[in-house]
Chain A
Amino acid sequence: MQLATKDLLRLATIGSVDDGKSTLIGRILVDTRQLFDDQLDAVAEASEKRGVGDLDLSFVTDGLRAEREQGITIDVAYRYATSPTRKFIIADCPGHVQYTGNMATGASTADLALVVLDVASGLKEQTRRHLCIAALLGVRSIIVAVNKMDAVDWSKLAFDRVVDEIQALARDLDFTSVSIIPVSALLGDNVVEPSSHFPWYEGPTVLEALENSEAGAWEHTTTRGARLPIQWVLRQPGGGRTYAGMVNGDTFHVGDRVTLLPANIETTITAINFGGEEIADATVGLAADLALANETNAGRGDLIATAPLPSVVNELKTTICWFGEKPLVIGQRLKMKHTSKVTPVRVKTINGVIDIEKLDIDESTSLTTNDIGLATLQTADLLVVDDYRANRVTGSFVLIDEATNATVAAGMVGHASFL
């Protein structure tokens, strides 16, 4: 029996509250028989107890007591599905604006965003915000499920109106792959099974679109430099050391000329190990350890790279999604975690806040909760960075409140081209 897939697709559902994200995921899991009998029974029992019909599909992912009581999604639920060709990791994200940080958590590792919106209300502000965040996070492919088609009598006119709106926004946000599908998550039309209600629609179902989309986009980068942020130094028998971390950007080979940064020491890879065994090369995503020809005092927070090399900076222009309860202001001190390095930072300037409706930058000297803005940060230690568009690992960071240790912001090096 051949079960191991060659493929792993990570997707996140995004969109406004009550447009049917959790119901759509529930529908996909039920109709592809991913749920076990006892899980399905438990959903039916919970539905009956709360008087919401025979089977409230949103209960498949809304597993917290408060979520079921309030009928909303509070935090990301991760579900897993397999098709004959691939494994899916599904992050079902919350729609409420106060849970934007949770939505960004789910979308930050996604290859693809599954956008759900209500055909009757079209693109709400929260859907635009989610699409904007997904685009900033580097998601390039979207599948848009135009939901609740049953409530508008399967009307082509209603669908077409929404399609025009989505296509205009998708162009503005530089999405490269856009599928727009009329569905009823509630009744199952065009989710897994094709529907007879759409004689005017010839495209794929949601499942077909998912199966045919590009996996692994998360790991793909546009620069071809290999990077290994050092997590840990391993002592080898006989006295040598190797440098452990996860490879990103490109493959390392034994014999590669590499530069240790920020010290700027050129050396050569003499051996690559994985789990204590020698290997010839280390591809993107492998948690390997490298031996170097020159004796160095490299440690956690340093980075091994091949050309084109990243930049070494102590001041950087960034795009910030601010989740803190109090506003982010100029002069504020925080901690930054960037790859394996933690360093104090200070906000030098705030260069504006993104207007979600117009996708313009408005002037502002602070960012309030769930704002997305541009800021210049000064760092206490030297950082080794790439632009986020070139490398998601060396181009991303989080900001940490110094008193509570809470994660208060997601940050990206540089600015998106559409801003």
Chain B
Amino acid sequence: MTTTPLRTSTTTDHLDLLESHAIFILREVVAECERPVLLFSGGKDSAVLLHLAVKAFAPQQLPFPVMHIDTGQNFPEVIAFRDATVARVGARLVVAKVQDTIDQGKVQDPGVMGSRNRLQTVTLLDALNDNNFDAAFGGARRDEDKARAKERILSFRDTFGQWDPKKQRPELWQIYQGKVNPGESVRAFPLSDWTELDVWQYIEREQMPLPDIYFAHERDVVERDGMYLAVGPFVEPRADETVEHLTVRFRTVGDANCTGAVLSRAATLDAIIEEVALANVSERGATRADDKFSETAMEDRKREGYF
């Protein structure tokens, strides 16, 4: 018996419902699939996902490894957070590098400044294949994008990793059916029903650590395509651009050269929650160049096997 005071559980708060639902999905996929893996980038959504996975299997160790698809164009703060978090929860980390895919001649090198965003799909599919992973957990949420809004919690992928939005499995009640034939796989999205605000409220409630770049800080930036990009190894100011020193934070964390910062003075979780609640622009709209290629950029990438 324990000496700690007993907390009377309640599921009336919607965060509790979302949390338990996500834990249920994590356990169900681990039970049904042979070799699951959790995709962990060090961003806020995958951090919440890993936190939930630890809860789902406590007091045991995580029954699966975590994997980072490393484009080589990361924010250093995020890589430091990734390594510290993985060490803290005692998970095994698999790193699959886009650079290796380039070196193998499977994709064209876009150059130091070029975006590797689309290339990472090839690296991801190779890594899933090489490790025989038949299920991959991702932190994607349906409120992020109109194509994601259409995707099942368990998203069936063929032997090429492709999502076919016209042939999704019916997914009734909370019966998650992850049976696949060899070579096929599922992507599982336990945070499907969470919104950006839910994620921040949950991080605040659980007092989770996050990379510093989510909080307001001063930084050199250039304005490009309507976004503020952080000046650094992957973003050099062009001749017609002026470097500004501004107080910003990152609302999402992707590659350093396609993730924009937002002007913000929100330096605490409470301030961020207030800012997110009042935002006029969506998080991906404000900060992600990778979604601005075309009207259906996310759907097109998912069809190719993207997260």
Name A residues whose Cβ lies closer than 8 Å to a Cβ of B.
1, 3-8, 36-39, 42, 45-46, 49, 61, 63-66, 68, 74-80, 82, 87, 89, 101-102, 104-105, 108-109, 231-232, 234-237, 244-246, 271, 273-288, 300, 323, 335, 337, 339-340, 342, 392-393, 396-398, 400, 404-407, 410
Q: Is the CB of B147 within 8 A of A78?
A: no
* A74 pairs with B165, CB closer than 8 A: yes
Bound Cα distance A283, B184 (Å): 37
Question: B residues near A, CB below 8 A?
Answer: 1-2, 4, 6-17, 19-21, 23-24, 27-28, 30-31, 55-60, 142-143, 145-147, 149-150, 152, 165-166, 168-175, 177, 179-181, 184, 192-193, 195, 197, 201, 273-274, 277, 279-282, 285-286, 295-296, 299
Q: Which residues of B contact A108 (CB under 8 A)?
A: 172-173
Check A78–B193 contact: CB distance below 8 A: yes
Q: A104 to B170, Cβ gap below 8 A?
A: yes
- Distance A273 CA – B55 CA, assembled complex (angstroms): 10
Is A236 within 8 A of B147, CB to CB? no
Chain A's nearest CB lies how many Å from the CB of B58? 3
**What chain B residues lie within 8 Å of A285 (beta carbons)?**
11, 16-17, 20-21
**B56 and A287 within 8 A (CB):** yes
Q: Which residues of A contact B58 (CB under 8 A)?
A: 234, 273, 275-276
Chain A residues whose CB sits within 8 angstroms of the CB of B152 once the complex forms: 105
CB distance from B48 to the nearest CB of A (A): 13
Residues of chain A within 8 A (CB-CB) of B285 are 36-39, 42
Is the pair B170, A410 in contact by a Cβ cutoff of 8 Å?
Answer: yes
Q: How far is the CA of A394 from the CA of B123 in the complex (A)?
A: 41
- The CA of A406 and the CA of B173, in the complex, are separated in Å by 16
Q: Are B174 and A323 interface neighbours, CB within 8 A?
A: no
Roughly how many angstroms separate A66 CA and B23 CA in the complex, as a whole number?
A: 34
Residues in B neighbouring A278, C-beta threshold 8 A: 2, 4, 6
CB of B164 to closest CB in A, whole Å: 11
The answer on a CB contact under 8 Å between B150 and A284 is no
Assuming A37-B280, A64-B150, A231-B28, what are 14 further A-B pairs, CB within 8 angstroms?
A: A4-B15, A66-B165, A66-B166, A75-B166, A76-B150, A78-B193, A79-B143, A105-B171, A286-B16, A287-B23, A300-B31, A342-B179, A405-B180, A407-B171
Docked CA distance A68–B150 (Å): 13
- A3 to B20 Cα, complex, angstroms: 20
CB neighbours of A236 from chain B (8 A) = 59
- Please list 27 pairs of residues, one from A and one from B, whose beta carbons are closer than 8 Å in the complex, sorted by A's number: A3-B197, A37-B285, A38-B282, A42-B295, A63-B150, A63-B296, A64-B165, A65-B299, A75-B165, A77-B149, A78-B142, A78-B150, A79-B143, A82-B197, A231-B27, A234-B58, A246-B20, A273-B58, A277-B4, A279-B8, A282-B9, A286-B11, A335-B179, A397-B175, A398-B177, A407-B171, A407-B172
Rounded to whole Å, the gap between the CB of B178 and the closest CB of chain A is 9
Cα–Cα, bound, A273→B58 (Å):
9
Distance between B262 CB and nearest chain A CB, rounded to angstroms: 13
